[in-house]
Amino acid sequence: MFDAKARYVRSLFSGVPIEYDILLGLLTFAQDRRWRAYVVQRARPPNNEPILDVATGTGLLAADFARSISLLGYVVGVDLTLSMLKTARSRLRSKQFGTKVDWVLARAENLPFRDESFGAASISLALRNVSDVQKTLAEMSRTTGSGGIVISLDFARPTNGLFRIFYYDYLLGLFPLFGRMVSEAWGRTLTYLGRSILKARTGDQIANLLSSEGLLDAKSVPLTAGIVCAVYGTKQ
Ligand SMILES: C[S@@+](CC[C@H](N)C(=O)[O-])C[C@H]1O[C@@H](n2cnc3c(N)ncnc32)[C@H](O)[C@@H]1O
């Protein structure tokens, strides 16, 4: 069942998969690679246990995980937007590590996996987009085995006041303008993105949600002047 937000988010992302990777790199000045590298280094399980990437989109983080694990490991990327998953699959098909990733069309709030199926679960640049944040984190925790990391990487609001002024101008002014220059779909998506970042939970709030799911040592780590936060905890 899709609620209004899930339908809206799916319609937004249905129109943008082809250019997604390039635009993400441009708009973040290629910092997105560094952020994903941090997530991989933090969350990769030690013994080839499978990894779950929720709201995987075009599979950028799933691919980075797949590249970094041995032949015995594998990654499952889940998303509710079919065109994003199709782009992910065709992009990775030509890569050597592409066979280490499976793609599943499903909602983050209702993951079709047994308890403790994975050695780690990630969600990147997408917790703001899901309809039910608490349920998503609960599902990620349920499907992660003991000792595994549950991690969210997402845009946040920088703490430095002066920087925040420039950043908000960039988010609410340049972002949508740039998007409209590419296509109407990108104009809509980047307008939504900017507004959703302003309303996003702080890293500490997400860490509290992880703790309330029973995860241990939940903490929020700001990256790139707090533009994004990596928030993670360990399954008991
Ligand atoms: C901004 S993209 C992020 C993609 C990727 N994780 C990344 O880091 O580039 C957001 C993705 O979240 C997906 N999404 C949003 N809500 C979802 C939900 N409730 N369940 C599964 N996927 C969802 C969208 O379809 C979209 O592909």
Looking at residue 116, what is its pLDDT? 98
Distance 53 CA to ligand 1 centre (A): 10
CATH number of 4-22+29-157+199-234: 3.40.50.150
pTM as predicted: 0.96
**pLDDT for 10-48, tens place per residue?**
999 998 888 899 989 999 999 999 999 999 999 999 999
Distance 164 CA to ligand 1 centre (A): 25
Phi-psi map region of 55: left, alpha, beta (phi>0 left; psi -120 to 50 alpha): left
> How many CB atoms are closer than 10 A to CB 110?
11
**pLDDT for 184-221, tens place per residue?**
999 999 999 999 999 999 999 999 999 999 999 999 99
> How many CB atoms are closer than 10 A to CB 6?
19
Q: Is 73's pLDDT higher than 80?
A: yes
Distance 106 CA to ligand 1 centre (A): 11
Looking at residue 159, what is its pLDDT? 86
What is the rounded average pLDDT for all residues in the chain? 95
156 to 208, 223, 225: CA distances (angstroms): 15, 10, 10
**Residues linked to residue 220 through DSSP beta bridges, in sequence order:** 231
What number does the ligand 1 atom closest to the CA of 21 have?
9
Distance 2 CA to ligand 1 centre (A): 14
**pLDDT for 132-158, tens place per residue?**
999 999 999 999 999 999 999 999 999
Looking at residue 44, what is its pLDDT? 95
Q: How confident is the model at residue 2 (pLDDT cuts 50, 70, 90)?
A: confident
Q: Which of 16, 39, 80 to mutate to test the pocket of ligand 1 (most atoms within 8 A of CB)?
A: 80
| Ligand 1 binding residues, C-beta < 6 A | 6, 9-10, 13, 24, 55-57, 60-61, 79-81, 84, 107-109, 124-126, 129-131
Mean pLDDT of 210-233: 97
- Percent of residues, the chain, with pLDDT higher than 90: 88
Contact 76, 102 (CB under 8 A): yes
Q: Is 112's pLDDT higher than 80?
A: yes
- Percent of residues, the chain, with pLDDT higher than 70: 100
* Higher per-residue pLDDT: 159 or 142: 142
Q: Which of 5, 13, 104 to mutate to test the pocket of ligand 1 (most atoms within 8 A of CB)?
A: 13
Q: Is 181's pLDDT higher than 80?
A: yes
Q: How confident is the model at residue 175 (pLDDT cuts 50, 70, 90)?
A: confident
Please choose, from the candidates 78, 70, 98, 80, the residue with its C-alpha nearest in 3D space to the C-alpha of residue 12: 80
Query: Where along the chain do its domains lie?
Result: 4-22+29-157+199-234
